[in-house]
Amino acid sequence: MKLKSLENLFVHELRDLYSAENQLLKALPKMANAAEDPELSKAFEYHLEQTRGQIARLDQIFDRLQLRAKGKKCRAMEGLIEEAKELLKERTEPEILDAALIAAAQRVEHYEIAGYGCARAFARMIGDEDAAQLLQASLDEEGQTDKLLTELAEGMINRRAAVAVPSSDRSEAAARDVTTDAGYHAGRDHDAGGPHHAAHEHAHHEPAMAGAPAASGEMH
C-alpha cells in the first residue's frame, strides 16, 4: 500500500496492530502455561481474553471503513515473541523465568501502547471519532495490563526475598517484606512493620483484575 495520505497511514497502522494482536493470540496461552506464579498465569489468561476483544474492535473499525479485516505482518511483534520463545528454551529457575516473562510481556505491552496511541491520534485527526474511541478502549487495556505486570513484578521480588531465608525465620522475613513494600510505596503511612502489617500488605497487592486469586500473603 502506498502511504499517500494520513488515511493510508491510519489503515497501515490498523493492519500492523491486527497482525500483532493475532500473533499474541497464539503466544499468550504459551506464556500462561510457562508462568510458575498462578497470578501471573491468570494475568496472561485474562489478557488473552482482552486480546480477543481488541481484535473484535479492530474488526469493527475495518468494517466501518468498508475494508477487509486483514493484517500486515508485524515484524516487531514477531521479534518480541521470538525473544520470549528463546527465554522459554533456557534452563531457568522458575522465579527467574517469571520475572523474565514479565520483562518480555512488558515489551509487548509498550509496543502495543505506542501502536494504539498513534492509531487513535490518526483517527482523531481524520475525524473518525468512533474509531478513536474503540482504539482508546484497547489502549486503556494495554496500559492496565502493563501496570498489573509491574505490580506482580514488585510483589514477586518481595516474595523471593522472603523465601531466601530458613523457614524458622519466616515471620521476620514477612516483616522485612512489608518494610520493603513501604519503601516502594513512599508516602503511605507504614511504620516500622509489626505483624498487623501483614494484613495491610495482603490487601494492598490484591490485583485490580476480576478472578485473580488473593495475593502473596499465603506464600510466605
Query: What secondary structure, in 3-state letters, does 143-206 show?
Result: HHHHHHHHHHHHHHHHHHHHHCCCHHHHHHHHHHHHHHHHHHCCCCCCCCCCCCHHHHHHHHCC
**From the CB of 71, what's the least distance to Fe ion, in Å?**
10
Kindly tell me which of 142 and 177 has the beta carbon lying closer to Fe ion. 142
Helix ranges restricted to H, 35-93:
38-64, 75-89
**From the CB of 210, what's the least distance to Fe ion, in Å?**
17
Kindly tell me which of 119 and 173 has the beta carbon lying closer to Fe ion. 119
**From the CB of 78, what's the least distance to Fe ion, in Å?**
9
State the Cα–Cα distance between residues 199 and 155, nearest whole angstrom: 15
As given in the structure block, the three cell numbers for residue 108 are 509487548
Which residues here bind Fe ion, judged by CB under 5 A? 16, 51, 54, 74, 76, 112, 142
**From the CB of 51, what's the least distance to Fe ion, in Å?**
5
**From the CB of 179, what's the least distance to Fe ion, in Å?**
33
Tell me if 128 sits within 8 A of 19, measured CB to CB.
no
As given in the structure block, the three cell numbers for residue 110 are 509498550
Output the CA angle 125-131-134, nearest 5 degrees. 130
**From the CB of 79, what's the least distance to Fe ion, in Å?**
9
Kindly tell me which of 52 and 188 has the beta carbon lying closer to Fe ion. 52
State the Cα–Cα distance between residues 128 and 80, nearest whole angstrom: 31
Kindly tell me which of 118 and 175 has the beta carbon lying closer to Fe ion. 118
Kindly tell me which of 97 and 149 has the beta carbon lying closer to Fe ion. 149
Q: What size, in residues, is the chain?
A: 220
Kindly tell me which of 46 and 193 has the beta carbon lying closer to Fe ion. 46
State the Cα–Cα distance between residues 29 and 38, nearest whole angstrom: 13
